[in-house]
Structures are given as C-alpha cells and as structure tokens.
Amino acid sequence: MQERHRQLLAGEEEARRAAVYAEVLVERDALAAELAKVYPVIAKQLVDLLKRLRTCDQRVEQTNSALPLGCPPLLLAELVARGPEGFARAYGTDIPRFGQAVRLPAFDGRGVIWPPPSVSDLDPANLLFHCIAQAQAAAAEARAPFARRLAAARTRPWSLSHFRPRSRPL
C-alpha cells in the first residue's frame, strides 16, 4: 500500500514537471521568435544612434576647443539628454557614457556590431586578422556575380560543342 502511494506521488510529480516543461517550452519559443524579430532592428537603430552620438561628440569637442567670444562651452548630447545627474551618482561615482559602455553582439554570432573596432584598439595580430577578414569579404562580394553565373552554367546540359577548340586568327 505504501509502495502504491509512493508510485502515485511520483506520477503526480512527473505530471507537474511535464506541465512546467511544456509551459517553459512555449514561453521560450515565443521569446526566441520575438528576439529574432526585434533584436536586429533595435540593434541597428542603437548602432546608428551611437555612431551619430560619437560624431556629434567629436564636433562638440572640436567646437569647444575654439569657442567664439562670449559663448559657453557646448555640452555633449548625452549629457543634455540625461541631465547632469545622469553622469554622476552619490559619492562621485562616474556612470559610463552609452558609447563607451554599450557592447552589442551581432545577432548571427559573427563578432560585435558595437563598438566598431578601431585601429588603435587592435594589436598587430588582430589588426592583421581584421584586414584579412575585410579583404576576404571584399573578394567574396566581387566573386558573387561570377558564382551566380557558374551556378547557372552548372545546371545547363553540356554537350561536346563546349569542348571544341576555338579558331584563332593568326
């Protein structure tokens, strides 16, 4: 009788775990679909915004280095948006700027889309790898039309006429 009671309890526990599993599976799949749909769009918007912030920061710093007479220094766009309290906490702890703190991985897993690599950030080995990767990407892009023609040619039936020598003028 006690054995039967243990079996019933074990069965109930197994049913509860299976129900939780099914619930988490549905939640996970819905979240994965939402992430696949939303992240690339949001990441692209953030990268665009961060690039424009970086460019504007450089222009603000350049303008502040040669201010017109009587003009106060310009504040960075992020400081204006967040307010002075956005950059400092109690006890003077600095809060990093978005452009410095944000790190966005590429959705396809191929590296990081923000921050962009800069030559000063790369050691010589990484710089070489970066240059090779850029050259390979450019070569692949240049080969794309040829690859499409080759793929189309492979689907055509061949005959011996393709192998006849061409006559060349002397």
Give the residue extent of every domain in the chain.
2-104, 117-156
Tokens of residue 94, six digits: 């600095």
Tokens of residue 112, six digits: 């990081």
Question: Are the C-beta atoms of residues 115 and 99 closer than 8 Å to each other?
Answer: yes
- Using one digit for the tens of pLDDT, what is the confidence trace for 134-154? 777 777 777 777 666 666 666
What span, in angstroms and rounded, lies between the C-alpha atoms of 153 and 145?
A: 12
- The pTM (predicted TM-score) of the whole model is 0.57
- Using one digit for the tens of pLDDT, what is the confidence trace for 33-59? 999 999 999 999 999 999 999 999 999
Task: Please confirm whether the linkage preceding 115 is cis (ω < 30° from 0).
Answer: yes
Mean pLDDT of the chain: 80
What span, in angstroms and rounded, lies between the C-alpha atoms of 119 and 17?
A: 52
Residue position matching structure tokens 């009671």: 5
